[in-house]
Amino acid sequence: MKFQNGAIMKQMLAMLLLVAAMLSCNSAGKQSAENETKPAGLMMKEPTEAEQREIKADVMARVAEIYSLVEAAYRSTADMGPDVDIDREFCTRSWCDLRDKVLEKQRRTEYLCLDMDYWVMGQDVDRFYADSFEFVGFDEADKGRVIVSLKVHNMDSETPVELELVRSDGEWRIDNFKDLKYDIDFRVMMEDYMEEDLDANSERQ
């Protein structure tokens, strides 16, 4: 009788351990899925003053590095533009995926959205460089998203620009460009373009 009770207890314990393991795996899988779909840059708590100073220094160094490399890429190919996808190097996957969808739709419908280069703020490139980098602050709705202002010089023209950056793939990456001179929000512009039913218009033509 004692042997039977002991065997039953062992079976019950094994079943409990199996159930606990299944619950743990389910919880871990759910948490992993949440992390994958969590918007880039989202930070729920306000950074401390020390964290803000560290973030500011890190972001400003990163933006200066990005534009130094971008300027070099444009100089190396004269007016033809870089021979590498600089968006993939310095922008978020979310930005690149949206841009790729826009470019594909442009090819399919022949309706333009991106008729200028947001890196140089123009259609052509000559004597391009960026300066006057300033840390504007943290996004009010998302403290993990930061805003940096700068001036882009190209073709004897100066354009004030704002960048939105988030932490992505372990580093600060650009998630949006804004042309303050002509009030162009490039992410909003591309999102609006993707919502337009241009395929039907193209077929009618």
**pLDDT surpasses 80 at 204:** no
- How many CA atoms lie within 13 Å of 98's alpha carbon, on the beta-carbon side? 19
* Mean model confidence pLDDT for the chain: 81
Range in 16-20, 43-47, 167-171, 197-201 with the lowest mean pLDDT: 16-20
pLDDT of residue 46: 80
pLDDT of residue 103: 96
**pLDDT surpasses 70 at 6:** no
pLDDT of residue 27: 42
**Degrees, nearest 5: CA angle 13-19-25:** 135
**DSSP H or E stretch at residue 149:** strand 145-154
Helix axes 186-195, 93-109, angle to 10 degrees: 50
Buried b (16+ CB within 10 A) or exposed e, 134-151: ebeebbeebbbbbbbbbb
pLDDT of residue 180: 98
Adjacent-strand bridge partners of 177 = 163
pLDDT of residue 84: 81
Task: Scan for tokens 């998203």, then name that residue.
Answer: 145
Sheet holding 157-168, edge to edge: 129-138, 145-154, 157-168, 171-179, 184-185
CB-based contact 178:185 (threshold 8 Å): yes
Minimal CA–CA distance to 125: which of 178, 161, 81, 180? 81
pTM for the predicted model, two decimal places:
0.76
**pLDDT surpasses 50 at 23:** no
- Per-residue model confidence as pLDDT tens digits over 81-99: 677 899 999 999 999 999 9
**pLDDT surpasses 80 at 201:** no
More confident residue, 170 or 29: 170
